[in-house]
Amino acid sequence: MRLEHLRAYPVSTGASRTAPAASTALDRWALRRIQQAVASAPIRFVLWDGFTLAPTDDLPVATILIRTRRALFAWLRNPDLNFGEAYMFSAVEVRGDLTALLEAVYRAMAEAPAPAWWQRPRANGERAARENVHRHYDLGNDFYRLWLDQELLYTCAYFPRPDAPLEAAQTAKMDLVCRKLWLRPGERVVEAGCGWGALALFMARRYGVRVRAFNVSTEQTAWARERARREGLAGQVEFVEDDYRQARGEFDAFVSVGMLEHVGLPDYQALGQVIARSLTRDGRALLHFIGRDRPAPLNPWIRKRIFPGAYPPSLREVCERVLEPQGFSVTDVENLRLHYARTLEHWLRRFEAAAPAVADMFDESFVRAWRLYLAGSRAAFTTGSMQLFQIVFARGGSNAVPWTRAAELRISN
């Protein structure tokens, strides 16, 4: 690192109302500690008075400006939580490409060993699950309509080609899920966590199945029911505003896209039990979820501000807690991590275009929080800090599984 002292650095805009005193030796020591934690990341750090730590060798990908002493020491104390807090409330500013900055941070952190003290799994009982969901998914359909695709799919898309439009990629994702589940007309499907209902309606319309779809979000369920009614699918798709654990009856397929992240490790066995009691003898199941290469905590700021109660599991944790206890047999796993990075690129672009409207709807700190969350997620998928797994499985010993992947990809051998 090369040390600079840039008196001319522009610090006049932003949150701090009174200019803080010039940085002290202690302030600069604190900044060096922060910089050392991501030593290999080419980032320029600047304090409120222009004091600068810059990378020696590389051009910086971005500059982080820390505006207040309070933000500096809060960051030092708990970087995982307080970088986000400070960014959200403009006590920290980023100049340059936010995603590139966060990618550099993820790569630098991957070189350091993960802390051992983190793992305190929390159970999400039905009440907690409801509260967690309400905090995120009931922000208002109007908000999500500003930057999601028109069908309001809020999960990883599948891009047949990297340059496919988002809408086409979301449709391709739904189709991929249906083909992996080997759906046939007249079959019964249960969906756990159905969002605004796009997949449930797609399965009914394109694959001729009957769907019972669970969701604890009031806003989403109302939207989905209205859409089913409008499209004449209300007789074929039933949207149930309830916890998926309330599902009763037998189904040919169980599907859950983007819900497992919100279940929490202690409830995995119960999820496995629900799937086991819901599937017919030759039923198939698909879980689509954000995961990890190995167990690691979700960033505490994301847990606090964006996804309370969320935890992305490793493949091993899902095998150990959901599948093995029920004797399920894994037939297929695919990792679509880079497709989620691309999905987030689309969302982020649309979100930025809608930022003024979002600020009117909430406030500037909300815009900043969501910008950080979307850019951080994109960086996590690009750098491999997070994965996107689709797991397909069946009852042990069921031979009613596709012979090869040819059907999944619609080719004939």
* DSSP H or E stretch at residue 368: helix 364-383
Compute the least distance from the CB of residue 144 to a second copy, in Å.
27
Amino acid at 374: L
Among 79, 289, 387, 388, binds a second copy (CB under 8 A): 387
Nearer to a second copy, 128 or 338 (CB): 338
CB-nearer residue toward a second copy: 249 or 403: 403
Q: Among residues 76, 108, 319, 354, which is the contact residue for a second copy, using CB under 8 A?
A: 319
Site string for a second copy, 277-306 (x = CB under 8 A): ----------------xxx-----------
- CB contact at 8 A, 132 and 336: no
State in angstroms the smallest separation of the CB of 396 from a second copy: 5
Other beta carbons within 10 Å of 146: 16
* Type of residue found at 301: W
Q: Which helix (H) or strand (E) holds 260?
A: none
- What is the smallest separation between the CB atom of 224 and a second copy, expressed in angstroms? 29
Could you say which residues in the range 320-349 bind a second copy, by CB under 8 A? Answer: 320, 323-325, 327-335, 337-338
With respect to a second copy, which residue has the nearer C-beta, 52 or 382? 382
Number of shown-chain residues binding a second copy (CB under 8 A)? 48
What is the phi-psi region of residue 157: left when phi exceeds 0, alpha when psi lies from -120 to 50, beta otherwise? beta
Half-sphere exposure of 97 toward its Cβ, with a 13 Å CA cutoff? Answer: 14
Measured distance CA(74)–CA(103) in Å, rounded: 22
Residues numbered 349 to 368 that lie near a second copy (CB under 8 A) are: none
CB 160, min distance to a second copy, A: 4
Query: Cβ 337 to a second copy, closest distance in Å?
Result: 8
| Helix H or strand E segment including 52 | strand 51-54
- Report the distance separating Cα 250 and Cα 257, nearest Å: 19
Q: Which of residues 35-64 bind a second copy (CB under 8 A)?
A: none
**CA dist 77 to 74, 114, 297, Å?**
5, 17, 17
Three-state secondary structure call for residue 18 = coil
Is the CB of 77 or the CB of 316 nearer to a second copy? Answer: 316
Comparison of 10 and 396: residue with beta carbon closer to a second copy = 396
Rounded to whole angstroms, the Cα distance separating 272 from 382 reads 30
Environment class of residue 101 by beta-carbon count within 10 Å: exposed (0-12), middle (13-18) or buried (19+)? buried
Site string for a second copy, 93-122 (x = CB under 8 A): --------------x--x------------
Of 137-196, which residues contact a second copy (CB under 8 A)? 158-162
Q: Alpha helix (H) ranges present in 111-243? A: 126-137, 141-145, 166-181, 198-207, 218-230
* Residue in 16, 63, 365, 398 binding a second copy, rule: CB under 8 A: 398
3-state SS assignment for residue 241? strand
CB of 412 to a second copy, least distance (A): 10
- Residues forming contacts to a second copy in the complex (CB under 8 A) are 107, 110, 158-162, 293-295, 314-316, 319-320, 323-325, 327-335, 337-338, 382-385, 387, 389, 396-399, 401, 403-406, 408-409, 411, 413
